[in-house]
Amino acid sequence: MALVTASDHGGVRVLGVDRPPRNAVDLTLITALGAAIDAAAADDAVQALVLTGTASAFSAGVDVKVVPTYDRAARAEMIRGIDGTIVTLYGLPKPTVAAINGHALGGGLVIALACDVRIAAAGSYSLGLLEVTAGIPFPAGPLIVVQSELDPQTASTLALTGRTIGPSDELAMRFIDAVVPAETLLATAVERARTLAGLRGYAAVKRQLRAAALARLKAIVLEDSDPLLDDWF
């Protein structure tokens, strides 16, 4: 079974994370997601990208049952896979939209934050950064995205407390661009992505806005210098 599904909608590629029950991230999933994003980046027919999840979750983040059992080599590969995927997604010149259909926690929320736009389905589910409660620190790539995409107060509140919030919570409105009925989520996200792809200067301006963060991200990947490679073992 494919861990990441792909479908094209008139120039917009929709990638769906599909690792039931809550799309938790392990080494196989982050590898598959990275490959799917790379493929979208290289395909000239793909003008924009939408990321979503299956069932009741966007992604519940790192699989806390599986990842802590990895040996040193597998953990290192996991960290490198996360950083590489985040660099590609965050730096993609094409518009990216997260269609948050359910729980987006820890690394799952980071993936959404690495997209340009975040559209959430209305409903009762949780958003949060749970690394502090899970006892799994941030790899360098996700940490840079959190620091870049969240204002300092929001980042501290979510990252240092493990607090979870709903998609319509006042705090969520600081990083969620729109909340729409669940039945219209995907169509709304695809249309937003298509609209952004029609903006002639989109790639250039996006590159300008993210230049400093991307330089740090790329250096970490190229130099293999994520501090977590030394501190998480």
Tell me if the bond preceding 21 is cis, omega within 30° of 0.
Answer: yes
Instruction: Pick one of 3.40.50.720, 3.30.360.10, 3.30.420.40, 3.90.226.10 as the CATH number of 4-231.
Output: 3.90.226.10
Stretch 104-112: mean pLDDT: 97
Q: Are 91 and 210 in contact (CB under 8 A)?
A: yes
Categorize the per-residue pLDDT at 55 as very low, low, confident or very high, splitting at 50, 70 and 90.
Answer: confident
Percent of the chain with pLDDT over 70: 99
pLDDT of residue 231: 78
Task: State CA 93 to chain mean position distance.
Answer: 16
Alpha-carbon distance of 139 to 136, in angstroms, equals 9
Sketch the domain layout of the chain as residue ranges. 4-231
Q: What's the whole-number average pLDDT of the chain?
A: 96
Categorize the per-residue pLDDT at 38 as very low, low, confident or very high, splitting at 50, 70 and 90.
Answer: very high
Categorize the per-residue pLDDT at 212 as very low, low, confident or very high, splitting at 50, 70 and 90.
Answer: very high
Stretch 82-93: mean pLDDT: 97
Strands, DSSP E only, in 62-207? 96-100, 103-105, 117-121, 127-128, 164-165, 178-180
pLDDT value at 178 more than 60: yes
The model scores a pTM over 0.85: yes
pLDDT of residue 136: 84
Stretch 132-157: mean pLDDT: 95
